[in-house]
Homo-oligomer: A and B are copies of this chain.
Amino acid sequence: MMQAKVKWTDGLQFVGESGSGHAIVMDADAEVGGTNTGVRPTELLLIGLGGCSGMDVASILQKKREQVTGVEVNVKGEKADEHPKKFTDIEVEFVVSGRNLSETAVKKAVDLSMEKYCSVKATLEGVAKIKYSYKIISV
């Protein structure tokens, strides 16, 4: 069981506290009455998707003794125009940097995360179409 507690602080600012003991400030855009002191709640889904899959890819490649020096995950999400404006399409781009990286290993790591391990991806894809790609940078 995972838990979170979210408390209203001021305006549309809320502070969320995770079961693991970490706090996150959320706020809305000025357009809808917020003051942008924190992340949008919807952005957390994209950040969570990047973090979840990034952790998989970094740890799988390290276990394979690939010389990874960087992992970056760029996530873009499109929402429906009509309320409740759920996410309809999400694109995830993995940028993996390293020395003598095996493309096969990178592809395998990305596929394993996206098709087998990443909880966030598996939860979001009930509603959103999720596409992904990867890039390798030799350093």
Contacts and interface: CB of A to CB of B under 8 A. Distances in A.
A39 B19 CA distance: 9
Contacts of A136: none
Interface string A23-50: 0111011000110101111111111111
Question: This chain: how many copies in the complex?
Answer: 2
A100 interface: no
Given A28-B55, A87-B119, A3 B40 contact: no
Chain A contact residues, majority secondary structure: mixed
Interface of A: 1-8, 12, 14, 16, 18-22, 24-26, 28-29, 33-34, 36, 38-52, 54-55, 58-59, 70-79, 83-87, 116-128
